[in-house]
Amino acid sequence: MAQNGQNRTSAPQEANPAHIVSVKDFSPDTLRNVIAHLKASTSFEHLVYREAELDAIWTITGFFVVNEPASRLRDAVNRLHAGAHKAHDLVADRRPGAAATVLESFL
């Protein structure tokens, strides 16, 4: 699914949940970075950052789905789009670990 750009960065060894992940695409590297930060997030401020990152993934995947012709790739990205929405809702429920599990299923 990295077809829509590459961040070309891998998830940090230890994520700092006080930092915002730059979400420029929905590549596996980006997802791994967001997942690492979800797993490290404990405070309300961290969760606000994670919601913003998930919003960015949801928006980028939404643009991709609208503009991509019918294909298996579009179907997969559409599932990620729905998964990003579900993960966002889990973060809003203060369940970042469950949100990370949702995103992990797309790797």
Residue 68: Cβ within 10 Å count: 15
Residue 13, Cβ density class (10 Å: 0-12 exposed, 13-18 middle, ≥19 buried)? exposed
Query: Which of these ranges, 3-7, 62-66, 69-73, 102-106, has the smallest mean pLDDT?
Result: 3-7
Q: For the segment 72-82, what is each residue's pLDDT rounded down to a tens digit?
A: 999 999 999 99
Question: pTM for this structure?
Answer: 0.88
DSSP assignments along 14-66, one per residue:
S--TTSPP--S---HHHHHHHHHHHHH--SHHHHHHHHHHHHHHHHHHHHHHH
Within the chain, what is the greatest distance between any pair of CA atoms?
41
Evaluate if residue 10 carries a pLDDT over 80. Answer: no
